[in-house]
Amino acid sequence: MKEEERPAVEKGMLYLCATPIGNLGDMTERCVEILKNVDVIAAEDTRNSIRLLNHFDIHTPMTAYHEYNRYDKAEALVEKLREGASVACITDAGTPGISDPGEVLVKKCIEAGIPVTSVPGACAAVSALILSGLSTRRFRFEGFLPTEKKERKEALSDLQNETCTLIFYEAPHRLKRTLSDLCEAFGDRRVSVVRELTKKHEEVLRMTLREAVLYYEKEEPRGEFVLVLEGRSREARQEEERAAWERMSVLEHVQYYEAQGLSRKDAMKAAAKDRNVTRREIYSELLPEKD
Ligand code: SAM
């Protein structure tokens, strides 16, 4: 290709290039052109990416940029960009920066005032969400849950009241444990277990958490998984709150708000609202205390 025919790749620009998550047909034309024309490709796994690059006849030099060298390598790449090189970042699959080392490089570039642009394409979280059948209006991406017990427990308890749809990534060898931890933390909510997106054995199991736990007692998890979990329903949340208030006496309920700094009048007002009764009823319940 003659120099003047080369598509514009800007000097000193970082390109975040999404690559397929299984089906090579999902590689975009623009991504191929950018990867062919940048000065260097920073790849999470060069051995993996060489197959992709060969398939698309891309012969740009690659350099390894992965979890274990992400800080030092990001500095080195920022230096290259500063000198005017154009760099494309690709990760093992999907969109760089989503549960992979891309994020660090982006932050370093922004700090250094280096322009960054995206070359969009596949992302497992988004495909799983739209196939789940669960609400797509509000969602929260959690990526991989921590594996360490205490951190994991904290992460799950932090999510318990979340009303958005929740999205998790999981490796096959941890799937059973994660399903049973989710079931313990969230009860029997609806979940979509999305497997092998865009590949031959793509599968979406729409069931409840308990059913998913039972299913994978018999099936060995194989392939790549995304779990899409229904958020907590507002009704369930209100019902539990109401039950908690009802376990308290009226006096305890009012004192609870007073302890948070409310005047008695405002505390009574808040308790009346929680218990769905009038202020007069709260007042008369407290009369013996007055006497
Ligand atoms: N950056 C990627 C993206 O845009 O989706 C995600 C990288 S993360 C290291 C890898 C995880 O993504 C896998 O463990 C799995 O949870 C999910 N994943 C990737 N490809 C998938 C596929 N084809 N089907 C289902 N899940 C997939």
Question: What's the 21 CA to ligand 1 centre distance in angstroms?
Answer: 7
Contact status, residue 284 vs residue 276, Cβ threshold 8 Å: no
Question: What's the 197 CA to ligand 1 centre distance in angstroms?
Answer: 9
| Region of residue 10 (left: phi > 0; alpha: psi -120 to 50; beta: else) | beta
Ligand 1 atom closest to 124 (CA): 5
Question: How would you classify the pairing of strands 14-17 and 116-119?
Answer: parallel
CB contact burial 79-114 (16+ within 10 A = b; e otherwise) = ebbeeebbbbbbbbbbbbbbbbbbebbbebbeeeeb
CA dihedral 94, 169, 142, 106 (to 10 degrees): -30
Q: In this predicted structure, what is the pLDDT of residue 286?
A: 87
Total residue count of the chain as it appears in this document: 291
Residue pLDDT tens, the chain, 291 long = 555 555 579 999 999 999 999 999 999 999 999 999 999 999 999 999 999 999 999 999 999 999 889 889 999 999 999 999 999 999 999 999 999 989 999 999 999 999 999 999 999 999 999 999 999 999 999 999 999 999 999 999 999 999 999 999 999 999 999 999 999 999 999 999 999 999 999 999 999 999 999 999 999 999 999 999 999 987 777 777 778 888 889 999 999 999 999 999 999 999 999 888 998 999 888 886 555
Q: Which residues line ligand 1 (CB under 6 A)?
A: 21-22, 91, 93-95, 98-100, 123-125, 169-171, 194, 196-199, 224-226
Best of 26, 200, 226 for a ligand 1 pocket test (most atoms within 8 Å of beta carbon)? 226
Question: What's the 94 CA to ligand 1 centre distance in angstroms?
Answer: 7
Best of 19, 225, 228 for a ligand 1 pocket test (most atoms within 8 Å of beta carbon)? 225
Contact status, residue 197 vs residue 130, Cβ threshold 8 Å: no
Q: In this predicted structure, what is the pLDDT of residue 55?
A: 97
Q: In this predicted structure, what is the pLDDT of residue 235?
A: 76
- 116: tokens are 């960054």
Structural domains in the chain plus CATH codes? 9-122 (3.40.1010.10), 125-232 (3.30.950.10), 235-290 (no CATH)
Q: In this predicted structure, what is the pLDDT of residue 7?
A: 57
